[in-house]
Structure 1
Amino acid sequence: MKKTALLFAVCSLFSLAGFAQSTWSLDKAHSKLGFTVTHMLISDVDGSFTDFDATITASKDDFSDAVVEMTASAASVNTQNEKRDGHLKNEDFFDVAKHSTITFKSKTFQKVGENKYKVTGDLTLHGVTKPVTLDATLRGTTVNPMSKKTVAGFKVTGTIKRSDFNFGTKYPNAMLSEEVAITANTEFVKG
């Protein structure tokens, strides 16, 4: 009886060790969350969020079971033009007084090729939550020679429609493109 209980306990520990989840925290100094919108059909305007955070939780080394959670402060929008940034923060666009936070939480992180993933999840922007699908590329993992910690780099791209989020709806496509490109270059540190 004691041998059976001991064997069960040992097997349980090995089983749990195989499913240990790792949490990867965003290295903010080496990450950027940005967007691009076309202005008057002729030029692109780039912007970013200077205050954002994200985590990845995964039990598999290839991230195929990963869960990603991201938050960004809408008030941290930065297009390198103070007047435009002020306009983006008002009720025409982000309406930061009412909708201060942008969030994304993945539902699936599907491997579709060598270091390529389709990430599907819920994006909440301007008080509206909609499903979106993003493309992610694992650019690699390595050990940071200074911190001695394992790090992983991802590039994430995708496109959303302004109208899906009731965002800037009084501005027609001829003024601002309906589609907004999202780009994130991120580095995560394994905890």
Structure 2
Amino acid sequence: MAKSTWNVDASHSAIEFVVKHMMISNVRGSFHSFEANVIADPEDLTTAEIDFSIDVNSIDTRDEGRDNHLRSADFFDVENFPKLTFKSTNITKKGQGEYDLTGDITIRGVTKPLTFHVTYEGGGKDPWGGERAGYSAKGSLSRKDFGLTWNSALETGGVLVGDEVKLNLEIEAVKQG
């Protein structure tokens, strides 16, 4: 199949994250507003060009107070850094429908490389004659690498918020005409 332009169908996609809380449990959250421009052969991502943008203000951890704190200068500082971006730099095939997708992620004005393990979930025609493809992606990053260093020490030892952030993406892409 030839390379073509694809857009993310946000209503059938999800960007979720998991962070350790008090060193004993995991807190989950998501971003609801995002977009991507992808130029790819959906069945062979090795030559794909992927640009992803997330509206950080759309963060949702099911707790309004925590979400507002995450939007503040203590964390994402959405007033000065409203977008989180990712641009692919290298894609390596690891097996049938399996890839390592490396790119530059920018959070709070800091850019670092990040690798996702991507699985091609399949593709096909939708009921309206369009073409769709699905992908799952997993990765992780260190909050400290991006200046997200706010924390609070616990009386029992350890910290309130873990450093590692696990990222899980479920993406449905639609081929553009």
* TM-score, normalised by the number of residues in structure 1: 0.85
Q: Name the one with the larger helix percent.
A: 1
In the alignment, which residue of structure 2 is the partner of 1:185? 170
Q: Percent identity?
A: 37
- 1:90 aligns to what? 72
Q: Which amino acid aligns with 2:70?
A: L
Amino acid across the alignment from 2:35: D
Distance 1:127 1:59, change over 3 A: same
1:111 aligns with 2:88: no
Distance 1:171 1:125, change over 3 A: farther
1:163: which partner in 2? Answer: 144
Per-residue CA deviations over 1:104-140 (Å, capped at 9, x if unaligned) read 0001121111110000000000111111111100001
Larger mean CA deviation between 52-61 and 42-51 belongs to 52-61
**Given residue 185 of structure 1, which amino acid in structure 2 is its aligned partner?**
E
2:119, 2:50 → 1: CA distance?
14
Tell me the distance in 1 between the aligned counterparts of 2:151 and 2:56. Answer: 19
Contact 2:115–2:139 (Cα < 8 Å) also in 1 = yes
Q: SS at the partner of 2:161?
A: coil
Structure number, greater radius of gyration:
1
**1 CA distance for matches of 2:128 and 2:37?**
19
Task: Point out where structure 1 has 5 or more consecutive residues left out of the alignment.
Answer: 1-17
Compute the RMSD of aligned alpha carbons.
1.6
Structure 2 counterpart of 1:10: none
Q: What are the Cα deviations for residues 149-171 of structure 1, in whole angstroms up to 9, with x where unaligned?
A: 11110001100000100113444
Greater RCO (CA < 8 Å, at least 6 residues apart): 2
Partner of 1:174: 159
Using structure 2 for the length normalisation, give the TM-score.
Answer: 0.92
CA offset digits 1:37-68 (Å, max 9, x no partner) = 01001111111111101122125742221111
Cα distance in structure 2, aligned partners of 1:139 and 1:59: 14
Compared CA separation, residues 175 and 94, structure 1 to 2 (3 A): same
Other-structure match for 1:4: none
More strand by share: 2
Residues 43 and 97 of structure 2 are in contact (CA less than 8 Å); yes or no, is this contact kept in structure 1? no
